[in-house]
Amino acid sequence: MARELVAGGWVVAAAGRREEALRGTADGLPDEAVAVIPTDVTRPEAVDALFAAAGARSGRVDLLFDNAGTGASAVALDELTYEQWRAVVDVNLNGAFLCAQAAFRTMRAQRPQGGRIIGNGSISAHAPRPRSAAYTATEHAVTGRTKSPSLDGRPYRIACGQIDIGNAATGMTERMAAGTPQADGRLMAEPLMDVTDVARTVAHMASLPLEANVQFATVMATTMPYIGRG
């Protein structure tokens, strides 16, 4: 997504925990088009520093792609420890909130006023996979975190939308080709789609004037088990 945005003329701040991985994303892109900013989104002071650095580099913040996420071990609800639950909530809910809040604050204060926030809710914002209570709960919460600032942002020209992604081919989804547990207990290989198709969708959402907004979009491998999951 960072590469697709750069190709569309955006100046990108790539944020995440691991600097080495961020530099892999930035590899081959013009230095002036991408800044690598290691950030732990569970820490408010780190998120504030991220937005201060991004604003100082570009003069303003016009887009947040709120994409931080993690999961817990696939266990039954009664086997999920509080520490595992809290770790997922800290990233997927609290981290997403802190980034959205910082973006909202920046976009409201800058002149010209406004900007766009796009959250990643995942297919699990609609339908759970087996043994995924923490991840499913937080991804459902992303939908509420999208709707509320969509309303609150109207006076300030802040548009908020959500993209729900299913089975994009990345390192995290390689296991799906070998087999993923289904609701009926079967282990089934699931189809994947090119992640570039997701990136193009995000770039389209980002390219719209602030008078237009994609509120919710679902991009998924066409035949993955989502409609009728379970």
How much is the pLDDT for 139?
A: 96
Classified by CATH at the fold level, domain 2-220 comes out as Rossmann fold (3.40.50)
Span between the terminal Cα atoms of the chain, in Å: 30
Report, as residue numbers or ranges, the catalytic residues: 135
pLDDT tens sequence across 218-229: 999 999 988 877
| Mean of per-residue pLDDT scores for the chain | 94
| Average pLDDT for 68-85 | 94
Lowest mean pLDDT among 84-88, 144-148, 172-176, 198-202: 172-176
| Average pLDDT for 66-91 | 95
Residues in contact with 53: Cβ distance below 8 Å, sequence separation at least 6, in sequence order: 13, 35, 37
* CA of residue 33 relative to chain centroid, distance: 20
| Average pLDDT for 158-183 | 90
| Average pLDDT for 191-212 | 96
* pLDDT of 178 above 90: no
| Average pLDDT for 46-65 | 95
Is the Cβ–Cβ distance between 56 and 39 less than 8 Å? no
Question: Please, what sign has the CA dihedral across residues 30, 65, 158, 99?
Answer: negative
Amino acid at 43: R
How much is the pLDDT for 230?
A: 61
Residues of the chain with pLDDT > 90: what percent? 87
What is residue 104's three-state secondary structure?
helix
Residues of the chain with pLDDT > 70: what percent? 99
* pLDDT of 26 above 80: yes
* CA of residue 9 relative to chain centroid, distance: 20
How much is the pLDDT for 177?
A: 79
Q: Give 148-159 as a 3 state SS string.
A: HHHHHCHHHCEE
How much is the pLDDT for 133?
A: 96
pLDDT tens sequence across 81-107: 999 999 999 999 999 999 999 999 999
Q: Measure the CA–CA gap between 114 and 153, rounded to whole angstroms.
A: 8
pLDDT tens sequence across 101-158: 999 999 999 999 999 999 999 999 999 999 999 999 999 999 999 999 999 999 999 9
- Whose tokens are 């995290």? That residue is 172
Torsion (CA) 12, 202, 145, 109 in degrees, nearest 10: 40
Judge residue 56's burial from the number of C-beta atoms within 10 Å of its C-beta, 0-12 exposed, 13-18 middle, 19 or more buried: exposed
